[in-house]
Structure 1
């Protein structure tokens, strides 16, 4: 049922009365926070926030994240409708437009990395990243990943379209493979923990051996349809897995995958030279699983330099 208030807010958006719409958002969110808590308030106000983030001038839209509206009225990094409100905003304006307007550091960082994923080079236009993640995409990040599919395509009145998370995406280039017996597990590594944390439905492990040895840890059987692929071809699926669900944006996925790669290098902090060297030597193996439906990931990553191989596998079947 469409209420009088719904019609009023829709009219404000159609007439581009953005300051009034921002005031309504803040009022809705603050009242909800006071009565029902922060999480419920964010959910109630999110559709209105989406309208503002998508359609308002950046000078107004950026104020969604400005605490000057009072307690409970400010959107944070977790506020989302079809996707995070900060990601909706980042798809609409360049970093040059947004940088002077965004105050909160977590939001600034995620918006900046979203603009990087959309093809902007922020090497000369953004503050250094706190973890050292590059302000421009590395060549292997762009390989096989169309710029138009990296971020959700948001719709003006709500909703979004996103490329399907599927690795392998099909059986082309794959063939029958008999996996070896599972290799000896190597427990306690940070990279394994970070891989398992990419998505709530993911499992991960590490063995001393090859990529097929690692795949054997989580594959449903010894006989699989699988094959090798470059890391660049698997990178988009890793990022998508780490940003699966409307509460997360692709920038969060990118940051999560870079943390995995840094942990695999064994360095205490990000070294771009070491990460690029790792990526160039990784041997990646993917395979199909009988349970695969719409969103799934099956990937083993072998580092010949250390003799270690990691595996991450799972699917969102709800």
Structure 2
């Protein structure tokens, strides 16, 4: 297995011999795939891939994802160490540097949205997103992150720094709330499936009624500690939930949340105007669960225009 303790590889990196390291990465990945399969190859070579994505010039780093080294030699969107290799790369260079070099469409799209999350406006000069997700952050996407970054801060050694976002983060501003009797859920709603897909620990449900009716679907009892919050507070935690652990990345979280909001608005694809109109009228409720530990989400989203509300709830006890 390639690790950062391999002194020779670290020495090559210190000396800036990045093409040589790329060649080692490709040969090791092909050999590991032949012996143990694609998943094992990705895991074994990920630390070296991280080192290249983090430190190499963009002209070399982007070639991690190119197949010009032969079948099995390229990293895919799922290759990750402390985080996806494409996300590590995206945190190191601007879109202006990366755009002329990146080839694979899936990697290109995720890198572009990572740069958007980092604050770049790519609405001009970049190819449109295939789903229509805007290539610039809306004001409500920027407002609720606090001191934490929207994308992990990756370290050369392979680690990363990120904020642990939870909803509710604390009990400030919350109080005792009596929830209504549970209503029958509305099946077959596309937004329900989109929100449930944010994470394997997330549950989602849709009801005809208000935010409290939706919260009653997952709340631990009829009386909870809860309160209404702006959607700007909910959004970062939804993105973090969709980003998940190391294999996913913040760009995937953002794309997943936009798909869910578009479905709530009844749009076939993420239309910017329709989603913004939805956000302007949403009422959002959050509540506490005594079982909450480190990573959890309890949110109910009410759309007064349709009379429908969605709840997204769960806790990651392994995260």
TM-score using structure 1 length: 0.97
For 2:282, the equivalent position in structure 1 comes to: 282
User: Which aligned segments of 4 or more residues in structure 1 are displaced greater than 3 angstroms?
Assistant: 1-5
Deviations 1:144-183 (A, max 9, x none): 2248510001001111111103111111111111111112
Deviations 1:82-127 (A, max 9, x none): 0000000000000000000100000000000000000000011210
CA contact under 8 A between 2:2 and 2:45: conserved in structure 1?
A: no
For 1:167, the equivalent position in structure 2 comes to: 167
CA RMSD of aligned residues (A): 1.6
CA separation of 1:99/1:147 partners in 2, compared to 1, >3 Å: closer, same or farther? farther
Alignment of 1:13 onto 2:13: yes
Q: Matched residue of 2:6: which SS?
A: helix
For 2:50, the equivalent position in structure 1 comes to: 50
Alignment of 1:203 onto 2:208: no
For 1:239, the equivalent position in structure 2 comes to: 239
Aligned residues: 318
Cα deviation, residue 5, structure 1? 8.4
Cα deviation, residue 8, structure 1? 1.1
Cα deviation, residue 296, structure 1? 0.3
**CA distance in 1: counterparts of 2:122 and 2:148, whole angstroms:** 19
**CA distance in 1: counterparts of 2:292 and 2:148, whole angstroms:** 25
For 1:98, the equivalent position in structure 2 comes to: 98
Cα deviation, residue 6, structure 1? 1.2
Deviations 1:11-54 (A, max 9, x none): 11121211111111101111111111100000000000000000
For 1:138, the equivalent position in structure 2 comes to: 138
CA separation of 1:2/1:209 partners in 2, compared to 1, >3 Å: closer, same or farther? closer
TM-score using structure 2 length: 0.97
Q: Matched residue of 1:293: which SS?
A: coil
CA separation of 1:146/1:99 partners in 2, compared to 1, >3 Å: closer, same or farther? farther
| Unaligned 5+ runs, structure 2 | none
For 1:113, the equivalent position in structure 2 comes to: 113
Alignment of 1:192 onto 2:189: no
CA contact under 8 A between 2:148 and 2:163: conserved in structure 1?
A: no
**CA distance in 1: counterparts of 2:154 and 2:268, whole angstroms:** 37
Q: Matched residue of 2:217: which SS?
A: helix
For 1:27, the equivalent position in structure 2 comes to: 27
